[in-house]
Amino acid sequence: MKLMVTGGAGFIGSAVVRLAVARGHDVVNVDALTYAACLENVAMVADSPLYTFEQADIRDAAAMNRVLSAHRPDAIMHLAAESHVDRSIDGPLAFVDTNLRGTATLLEAARRFWVEQGRPETFRFHHVSTDEVFGSLGETGRFSEESPYAPNSPYAASKAGADHLVRAWHETYDLPVVLSNCSNNYGPFHFPEKLIPVVILKALAGETIPVYGTGSNVRDWLYVEDHAEALMTVLQKGRVGRSYAIGGEAEARNIDLVETLCRILDRKRPKTRSYADQISFVTDRPGHDQRYAIDPTRIREELGWRPSLSLQEGLERTVDWYLVNEDWWRALQSRDGIGDRLGILP
Ligand SMILES: NC(=O)c1ccc[n+]([C@@H]2O[C@H](COP(=O)([O-])OP(=O)(O)OC[C@H]3O[C@@H](n4cnc5c(N)ncnc54)[C@H](O)[C@@H]3O)[C@@H](O)[C@H]2O)c1
């Protein structure tokens, strides 16, 4: 199959690119190379005859039309987005522009290409989204495909709007789409502004490890390579027009997650005092969702996917990866905003 992956130089997109090439698919990686991109993430496939890179912006209609005509993919996996909630609090319009206008522009290019090809039924537009579109849970319950949309952050709202656009292009134009809404990912190549890499890198640097609020917020964590596997499954086996909730069934309070990471580091990179001594509670994120959890019954029973790693196994692997890939994260630490506290209202 020939796949066009948008955002393939980012964290999850690069895992999809690596997996798809390893499976023998042709891949064209379309990425604008924003601050969050890193071509090192796909270095291991860069010389493969199956792999091509196109630096292009999903908001650029002419560029999207050109890339589609040149590469003629069988499917588009759309991951390009502004993805950091704290940055969306500081600058929401960039999220509206990329995640909404960019997705609409890409949908129009995809529709035009699909019509020119004679509307093949096998074509797929796979929109990759987040569980954050469903808002926040209380102590019980889990999100499913039937959960009402109730996004709270500008990031979540822009992703929710993009989900609605994708549905509309299916209902109105018959474009063969599938959607997926996944919980928090973690693992290798996670950009150093997100919680898990922040904890590991602050710990190793001997700096304060910031935990927002009281650390009681709960997230459901999924190892990024398990997500990539789930995305390929949804693409190849998912029913057109349907969405799939994806999660690791691995809920953890932020403070428990951070303490687990500190214990793993205590074992793997021991020093005189525990890394947990560096933990400090800091001002909470405005509108911080209390809890996310996913009921993955549909993808498990209909498509046969389940995560391969427990949270503990995934965290051990992730810490190992950061310990041996210092060159990768050191090179990113000079990027704009890395290491700074973002998303606090004045
Ligand atoms: N990280 C998570 O935990 C998580 C969970 C569920 C869903 N998602 C979704 O998965 C997708 C990927 O997330 P991620 O964490 O890998 O993000 P990321 O920020 O690591 O990567 C995003 C990539 O998109 C590219 N990009 C941004 N704007 C672009 C534009 N206008 N045109 C072309 N490329 C552009 C960036 O250069 C970057 O390489 C996003 O759509 C996100 O909403 C993420």
C-alpha distances (whole Å) from 243 to each of 129, 163, 191, 203 are 10, 10, 27, 38
Q: Is the pLDDT of residue 324 over 80?
A: yes
CA of 266 to the centre of ligand 1 (A): 32
pLDDT tens figures, 54-113: 999 999 999 999 999 999 999 999 999 999 999 999 999 999 999 999 999 999 999 999
- Give the count of beta carbons closer than 10 Å to the beta carbon of residue 171: 11
Q: Listing from the earlier edge strand, what are the strands of the sheet with 2-6?
A: 51-55, 26-31, 2-6, 75-78, 124-130, 177-182, 243-246
pLDDT in tens, 159-210: 999 999 999 999 999 999 999 999 999 999 999 999 999 999 999 999 999 9
Q: What's the gap in Å between 181 CA and the centre of ligand 1?
A: 13
pLDDT at 16 over 90: yes
| Residue boundaries of the structural domains of the chain | 2-191+224-250+292-310
DSSP track, 152-185: -SHHHHHHHHHHHHHHHHHHHH---EEEEEE-EE
State the average pLDDT for the chain. 97
Ligand 1 — pocket residues by CB below 6 A? Answer: 6-7, 9-13, 31-34, 36-37, 57-59, 79-83, 98, 102, 128-130, 159, 182, 184-185, 191
Residue 218 — φ and ψ, nearest 5°?
A: -110, 135
Q: What's the rounded Cα separation, in Å, for the pair 35 and 159?
A: 19
Q: How far apart are CA 206 and CA 208, in angstroms?
A: 7
Report the candidate in 103, 333, 315, 131 with the shortest Cα–Cα distance to residue 224: 315
State the pLDDT at residue 99: 98
* Atom 21 of ligand 1: nearest residue by CA position: 10
Task: Quote the percentage of the chain above a pLDDT of 70.
Answer: 100
Is 212 tagged catalytic? Answer: no
Q: Which of 215, 121, 133 is nearest to 170 (CA)?
A: 121
CATH superfamily of 2-191+224-250+292-310: NAD(P)-binding Rossmann-like Domain (3.40.50.720)
Phi, psi of 185 (to 5 degrees): -95, 160
The yes-or-no verdict on residue 148 having pLDDT over 90 is: yes
Q: Is 80 exceeded by the pLDDT of residue 47? A: yes
* Pair 322, 201: CB distance under 8 Å: yes
Per-residue pLDDT tens for 253-305?
Answer: 999 999 999 999 999 999 999 999 999 999 989 989 999 999 999 999 999 99
Residue nearest to atom 12 of ligand 1 (CA): 79
How many Å apart are CA 109 and CA 113, to the nearest integer? 6
Please tell me the distance from the alpha carbon of residue 18 to that of residue 43, in angstroms, as a whole number. Answer: 9
pLDDT for 251: 97
Tell me phi and psi for residue 210, to 5 degrees: -80, 130
Closest CA to 113 of 122, 103, 123: 123
Distance 202 CA to ligand 1 centre (A): 23
Q: Is 155 a catalytic residue?
A: yes
> Looking at per-residue confidence, does 148 or 345 come out higher?
148
pLDDT at 341: 86
What pLDDT does residue 344 have? 84
Ligand 1 pocket test, pick from 4, 40, 57, 79 with the greatest ligand atom count within 8 Å of Cβ, gives 79
How many whole angstroms separate alpha carbon 79 and alpha carbon 21? 17
Distance of CA 292 to the CA centre of its chain: 15
